[in-house]
Chain A
Amino acid sequence: MSSELLRYVLRRVIQLVLVIFVAVSVNFLIPRLLPGDPVATSLARLQTAGGGTAIDIEAISRTYSERYGLDQPLFTQYLNYWADLLRLDLGVSFANFPEQVTTMILRALPWSVGLLGAATLFSFVVGSWLGARLAWPGAGRVIRTVVPGMMVLAAVPFYLLAIILVYIFAVELRWFPPAGGVQTTTIMRFDWPTIRDILHHAVLPFAAISLGNIGFWALGMRSQTVSVLGEDYITFAEAKGLSPHRVFFWYGIRNAFLPQITALALSLGAVVSGAILVEVIFNYPGLGTLLYTAIRGQDYYVIQGVVLVLIVTLAVMLFIVDLIYPLLDPRIRR
């Protein structure tokens, strides 16, 4: 490993640590800086929502304050917060007392990662491919009509596409289930019926996220490819008599694809934001639905926990993308 590469990796490690540090601190500070006591606010809202049952908010809030050390100085609280985090203790759910927030998140995480990971990878690869084909001379009529249509579709927030998909394919045609990650009666086992059921439920959310993203990647790849097309090395490769296939893959796509990876890193946050709402529409048992239920139930520690996990997961994924990047671009590796 050259010293330059080492410096690059080191800088990325520092950035990763910084993002996590800031995320945790912001997560800790915002509720404490804003006027009002979050626990009391949550409970008050819960009370209004629950039809005004007479609960002694003061007493409950005081109990919480003592139990979680909210009456101690800010800095002590901050240190305690870090200590809890390092023990993976994100607090206890109000709504599902006494369930641990960590347990709830770990239960939801595989669903989100599976759905979002598959859909993002699929739309990234397919979208980039279509965008490159569209920009390359001699694109077929199908590509020239379908791909721009996908680009327009990508402008619409994809959770809205999700609503339309549910209506057409789950309510009207009844081809796919309208909600959930798996049939409620299915016993989770590692066998074909269970897997088929999970896949059957995943089709519509997968389609919604993909439909909303393919056009976005195609758009980026198209403009990258257009600028690559003007480069001398393409002309040279053609003049050398290389097959159009080889020029397309090894001279066109390979160069146009690199900025796409940077774009992927930068837009993962937006994809996750949209996917949260897709999960809500489908009542999919992932982090998005967990967050939504927590917001509706004013389940304070769950909201905080999910948000933290989202930020940290994303930061780690970005870190990985950035580490892979030099492997793909020989100019940086050297």
Chain B
Amino acid sequence: MTDTAAATRASRRRASRVDITLVLGLTMLGVIVLISILGPLLSDQSLANVGAVRPRRPPGPEFWLGTDAQGRDMFTLMLHATPNTLKMGLIAGVIGVGFGTVVGLISGHFGGWIDSVISIISDALMTVPAIAILVILAGNIAEMTTMIMALVVASLSWMFTARTVRAQVLTVKERGYVEVARVNGMAPLEILFIEVMPNVAPYILASFVGTVSAAILATIGLEALGLGAQNEMTLGNTIYWAQQSSAVLRGFWWWWGPPIVVIAVIFVGLFLTSVGFDRFANPRLGRE
């Protein structure tokens, strides 16, 4: 009896620990999403235009996060930069995962030389430093916009999804119900979308989180190098401008502090959420 009671207590404790990681992660992401939705509605965007306010003011009652070298209110800037960065990450993530899914389905389902070609390309692209190719792509585009940026980043964020989907298709393909569908005379494409696809869906969803996070990382990196859409308000551009005006050496911590905090919250939130989900879905990982 006591053994069972102890076990129940232990498992309850384990369950509550899983919850803490997951809840913390989701809370962080929730706060960011809330800021992204409400921020632009509740603030006056003109305060974040160049020269709108007195430059180089420290944080205070008037400007909560101070103002930057170009006379922009940092607080307003953050409220508008956060949704822009998230938007880019999400668009790139959707495109990347979408393309990866199609490629993975084709590769796994049809096999043969198509599969070999796709595998070789995606393996090669996975090992190449993404930023190198992105720099060449981004550097050759005359006018950068958020949308093009998302496309550029998406072009290198489909491989992981493609690999995962391909591997799953290969296992699902051999299951009994697929065999039954084939014997019943279903067309290969029908089998692919009606029988195989729904079983691969959870894996697509899982790779979506990773892809969005990688896409945000890539956009911020490119922007910090000065290859972003320079007129857009984004977190990466804010860091670029802080770096340009030697904010760190001059002690203007409020030029780089706020974007770093927001970026850190996004990534730690994504990390905790995925760790929490893993433990939730795969309790074996949870044991210490």
A interface list, Cβ under 8 A from B: 15, 18-19, 22-23, 26-27, 30-31, 34-36, 38, 41, 135, 144, 151-152, 155-157, 159-160, 163-164, 166-167, 171, 178-179, 223, 226, 230, 265-266, 268-270, 272-274, 276-277, 280-281, 291-292, 295-296, 303-304, 306-307, 310-311, 314-315, 318
Contact = CB atoms under 8 A, between A and B. Distances in A.
A302 B101 CA distance: 36
- Which residue among B260, B270, B284 has the maximum number of chain A CB atoms within 10 Å of its CB? B260
Contacts of A23: 128
A132 B159 CA distance: 29
Contact of B136 (A266, A307, A315): A307
Contacts of B249: 166, 171, 178-179
Interface residues of B, number: 45
A171 B264 contact: no
Give me the 7 closest cross-chain CB pairs, A-B, nearest first: A155-B271, A273-B131, A269-B129, A272-B129, A307-B132, A155-B267, A310-B132
Contacts of A226: 284-285, 287
- Which residue among B124, B126, B141 has the maximum number of chain A CB atoms within 10 Å of its CB? B124
Contacts of A311: 128-129, 132-133
Contacts of A304: 136
15 contacts: A26-B133, A38-B140, A151-B271, A152-B272, A155-B270, A166-B248, A167-B248, A226-B287, A268-B129, A272-B129, A273-B130, A291-B225, A292-B226, A307-B132, A314-B127
A167 B142 contact: no
B135 interface: yes
- Which residue among A15, A31, A156, A268 has the maximum number of chain B CB atoms within 10 Å of its CB? A156
B248 A160 contact: no
Interface stretch (B107-115, B165-173, B179-187, B216-224): B216-224
B263 A160 contact: yes
B140 A19 contact: no
B129 A318 contact: no
Nearest to B286: A226
Contacts of B196: none
Contacts, number: 134
Contact of A15 (B124, B137, B142, B220): B124
Contacts of B248: 163, 166-167, 171, 178, 281
A295 B268 contact: no
A160 B260 contact: yes
Contacts of A223: 285
B103 interface: no
B130 A269 contact: yes
A261 to B, nearest CB: 14
Contact of B135 (A268, A269, A274, A291): A291
Contacts of B202: none
A270 B225 contact: no
Contacts of B224: 159, 277, 280
Nearest to A300: B139
B141 A34 contact: yes
A19 B124 contact: yes
A31 B140 CA distance: 6
A104 to B, nearest CB: 16
Contacts of A280: 224-225, 243
B227 interface: yes
Contacts of A268: 127, 129
Nearest to A139: B288
B285 A157 contact: no
Contacts of B260: 160, 163-164
B251 interface: yes
B23 to A, nearest CB: 15
Nearest to A319: B127
Contacts of B133: 26, 307, 311
B158 interface: no
Given A163-B248, A171-B248, A226-B285, A156 B263 contact: yes
B126 to A, nearest CB: 6
Contacts of A152: 268, 271-272
B208 to A, nearest CB: 17
A303 B243 contact: no
A27 B136 contact: yes
Interface string B244-286: 0000110101001000100110011011100000000000110
Contact of A276 (B127, B131, B271, B285): B131
Given A226-B285, A276-B225, 20 more contacts: A26-B133, A26-B136, A34-B141, A36-B140, A156-B263, A156-B268, A159-B221, A160-B260, A171-B251, A226-B284, A269-B130, A272-B132, A273-B221, A277-B221, A280-B225, A295-B135, A295-B225, A303-B136, A304-B136, A307-B135
- Which residue among B128, B142, B226, B256 has the maximum number of chain A CB atoms within 10 Å of its CB? B128
B263 A269 contact: no
B120 interface: yes
Interface string B129-164: 111110111011110000000000000000000000
